[in-house]
Amino acid sequence: MLELLIDNPLLLLFVVSAIGYLIGRIKIGGISLGVAAVLFVGLAFGALDPELRLPEIVYLLGLVLFVYTIGLSSGPGFFASLQRKGLRDNLLVLGIILFATGLTLLAAWILGLGAPVAAGMFAGSLTNTPALAGVIEQLKTGAFGPVTEAILAYPVVGYSVTYPMGVLGMIMAIYLLQRLWKINYADEARTMPGLNIGTEHLVSRTIRVTRPEMDGRNIGELLRNQRWNVVFGRIQHDGLVNIVTSDAYLRLNDLVSVIGQNEEVERVATGLGELTPEQLELDRHTLDFRRIFVSNPAVLGKRLRDLDLPRTQGAIITRVRRGDSDILPHGDTILEPGDRVRVVTRRENLEAITKYFGDSYRHLSEIDVVSLGLGLALGLLVGMIPLPLPGGMQFTLGFAGGPLIVALILGWLERTGPIVWSLPYSANLTLRQLGLTFFLAGVGTRSGYSFVSTFSQGGGLGIFIFIAGALITAASAFGLLIIGHKMLKIPMGICIGMLAGMQTQPAVLAFANEQAGNDLPNIGYATVYPLATIGKIICAQMLLVLVQ
C-alpha cells in the first residue's frame, strides 16, 4: 500500500485530504478542527516513510492560491482597519514576537543550546519557514564560523521538533480562551458594519413620522447628521408610495420603511416618531422589487454612490446579499461578483434594471483567468524582489508574502480599467479551500518523517527542545489574546486572525475561520501578516548573534 502511495502522489494527495476532512468534522465539546485536520493526517502519513511526501509544487501552488484569495477578499477591510487601529495591532504583534525572542534566549541559556538550534527553535515555535531559510542562508555565508552539513542541519532540527506544536498550540489557545470567555463571534460581527463583513440580522420596520421637528426635514441630511446606519426604502405620503431618495422630505404622518439592525431601527424610530404595525402597501403594479445577481462587469468594483441608481436607473438597493450574509448598502458599498441585490423600482423598469446588473448565475460560475493570472504573476514577481536588511542582509517576501500584499492592493482597488480583480464569492471560496487543502497536505507529508525521526533520535535534548518550543508558542498565543482582547478590547474574531497572522500560519487561520464563521479573522490576519513575516526573519537572524 505504501509503495502505491509513493508512486502515485495524486492518490496520496486526495487520500490525505479525504481522511483529513472526515476527521475534521469530528466534534469534541462542540469544537472541530475543520480543514486544519488535513495537516495532522499529512504528518501521520509522512511519518510512515521518508519517500511518502507530496511534490513541493503541490504545497506551493496551494499556498499561493490560498493567500491570494484571502488577500482579494480582505483588501477593503484591511485598509479600513489600518485607518482605525492598524498601527496598534501591528505594534502588539511586534511586541509579542520580541517577547518570544526573549523566551528563546532564556531557553537557549538554560538548555545550553547553540545559536543555530535556538534560531531554528524560534522559527518552528512561530511556524515561519522564511525565517528558517534566512537563518540557513546566513550560516552559509560563513559569518558565524566554518560551515558543515551538520551545522546547516541544526536549525532544521530545532524547527522540525517545534513546528507541529507551533500549529497545535495556537489552535488549543484559541479553543480554550473562546470557551473560557464565552465568545459570541456573531455579536462581534454585528458591531462592525463598516468592514462589510455582513450580518444576518437585518429587519424591515415601518415608522410613522409624529415628531413636529421632523416635518420638512431632508432624509439625506438626517442620515448624515444623525449617523443612522439604516436604509430608507419606501415612503408613503397622502396615500402614495414612492421609493426614498436622498432628495426626499418627510412630512407629519408619513410612513417610511426602514431597514437595518433592530437596535438601530429603534433608534431611528425614536428620532422620527414611532414604530407602527401598519405596513406600507406595495402596489406591485406601480412599484415592485426583485433580487438580482450582480454579474455585469460594467458595475462590478464600483461604489453605489458612483452608480447613482436613483437618478440614472430610478431604483434603490435595500439589501446586498453576499454569501450567506446580508449587508446594509451605503454609498461606499462596492459591488462584487456574486452579490445579490434587492432592488426596488417601478414595475415597468424591472427588466431594464435586471439587465443592468446582469443577473447571470452562469457568468458568476466562471473565473476571469486573465485577472487571476495577472494578479498571481504580479504577486509572485513581488515575492522575488530582494529587500535589504541592516548588516547587508536581504530577504524576500516569497510565495506567501508577495501574492498576499499584491492581492490586498488589488482587492482594495476592485478594478483597474476593464479588469475586475475580485472573484465571484463562490469561486473565491472554492479556490481558497482547494489551495488550503493542497498546502496542508503538502506540508504535512513533507514534515512528518523528519519530525518523528528528529524527535526520536534527539534523546532527552529533543524532548527539552520540544517542551521549550511549546512553552514559547503557548506564551505567545495567550499573551496576544489576553492583551489584545481583554486589555485593548480588540474583537476576538480580529484577535484570532492576528494570532494566525503572527504565526504566518494558514492552518491556524483555517481553524479561526471555522470558529468565527465570518471574515473578521481574515482581516486580522492580513493586517499583521507583512510585519510579522519581516519581524520574525530579523529576530531569527538576531538570535545567531545574541546566543553565545
Say how many C-beta atoms besides its own lie within 10 A of residue 3's C-beta: 10
> In the beta sheet, which residues pair with residue 243?
234
| CA gap 62, 125 in Å, rounded | 22
Helical residues (DSSP H) of 219-332, grouped into ranges = 219-226, 262-272, 304-307, 309-312
> In the beta sheet, which residues pair with residue 530?
none
* Whole-structure pTM value: 0.64
| CA gap 367, 424 in Å, rounded | 8
- Look at strands 231-237 and 240-243 and give their pairing: antiparallel
Task: Out of 101-110, 208-217, 275-284, pick the least confident.
Answer: 275-284
> Cell 455585469 maps to which residue?
296
| CA gap 300, 294 in Å, rounded | 7
Encode pLDDT of 206-256 as tens digits.
Answer: 899 999 998 888 888 888 888 888 888 888 888 788 888 778 889 898 889
What pLDDT was estimated at residue 394? Answer: 66
- Angle at CA of residue 17, ends 11 and 20, nearest 5°: 135
Tell me which of 456 and 506 has the higher pLDDT: 506
Encode pLDDT of 317-334 as tens digits.
Answer: 888 887 667 778 888 788
Contact 301, 422 (CB under 8 A): yes
For 287, the enclosing helix (H) or strand (E) is: strand 287-293
- Look at strands 287-293 and 240-243 and give their pairing: unpaired
Encode pLDDT of 295-306 as tens digits.
Answer: 787 888 788 888
Q: What is the mean pLDDT of the chain?
A: 81
What pLDDT was estimated at residue 67? Answer: 78
What pLDDT was estimated at residue 149? Answer: 55
Contact 378, 389 (CB under 8 A): no
| CA gap 520, 6 in Å, rounded | 39
> Cell 441630511 maps to which residue?
221
Contact 403, 64 (CB under 8 A): yes
pLDDT at 193 over 70: no
List, edge to edge, every strand of the sheet that includes 231-237.
240-243, 231-237, 255-261, 202-209, 273-276
Taking each helix axis from N to C terminus, what angle separates 369-384 and 398-413, rounded to the nearest 10 degrees? 130
